[in-house]
Structures are given as C-alpha cells and as structure tokens.
Amino acid sequence: SQQGEEDPQALSIQEGENATMNCSYKTSINNLQWYRQNSGRGLVHLILIRSNEREKHSGRLRVTLDTSKKSSSLLITASRAADTASYFCATDPLLAGKSTFGDGTTLTVKP
C-alpha cells in the first residue's frame, strides 16, 4: 500500500488565496519531498525537507514536517491560476533507497 495519504483529495480556491495540503505517512523516514504534476505531464520537484527539519520555505511555498505525528503540510501562499495542478508528497523511508508517493491533492485555482 502507499506510504503516504494526502488530504484533501481535491481543493478549489480563488486566485490570491492560500492553499494548504496535508500528507501523512506510516514509517520513519529520511526525508519528505513535495512534487507538482500538471495534467498529463511529468513531476516537478518543489521542495525537500529532512527528518531533522521542522519547516522550510521556498518562494511562495512553506513546508512543515512533524515526525511525531508522521505528517507534513504544504502551504502555497497567494495562489495563482498557474498553480493549478496535482501535488504529491513522497517519502524516503529509512533504508528503503526508494521513494513512495502519496495519493495526491488536486488543486484548482480559479482566476
């Protein structure tokens, strides 16, 4: 089964609003990554957060990680229509040497 679960499954907001997506996972990890996928396209790496980090920023993106709760959140501030995409978290479980993806959140930003 997939390592990660994300919620919500779908999120629809207006341009300018903030979007928050959550990811939960099951086993201890080395790191957690967030990716974006536009419809029918490959994945674009957004940000990586290591297991010893609690928060990380990159432009309009803010990622938090709570290893005690085995969860992470991705916040996109001041959203734009171009942010419309599916967002996936991927975990790198200890000793696994491979990433496992969550179910994804489909974000729609209305202009």
Query: What are the backbone dihedrals phi and psi of residue 82, each rounded to the nearest 5 degrees, phi first?
Result: -70, -10
**Rounded Cα distance, 26 and 110, in Å:** 33
**Binding-site string for other proteins from residue 1 to residue 20, where x marks contact by CB under 8 A and - marks none:** -x------------------
Q: Please state, in angstroms and as integers, the Cα–Cα distance from residue 12 to each residue in 2, 3, 62, following that order.
A: 25, 25, 19
> What tokens does 6 get?
């994300």
Work out how close the CB of 95 gets to other proteins at its nearest, in angstroms, rounded to a whole number. Answer: 9
Binds other proteins (CB under 8 A): choice among 14, 18, 45, 81: 45
Q: Does 97 bind other proteins (CB under 8 A)?
A: yes
Query: What are the backbone dihedrals phi and psi of residue 81, each rounded to the nearest 5 degrees, phi first?
Result: -55, -35
If the CB atoms of residues 42 and 111 are measured against other proteins, the closer one turns out to be: 42
**Rounded Cα distance, 87 and 73, in Å:** 11
Binds other proteins (CB under 8 A): choice among 41, 54, 57, 80: 41
Work out how close the CB of 78 gets to other proteins at its nearest, in angstroms, rounded to a whole number. Answer: 27
Query: Would you tell me which residues interact with other proteins (CB under 8 A)?
Result: 2, 30-31, 33, 35, 40-45, 48, 88, 92, 97-104, 106
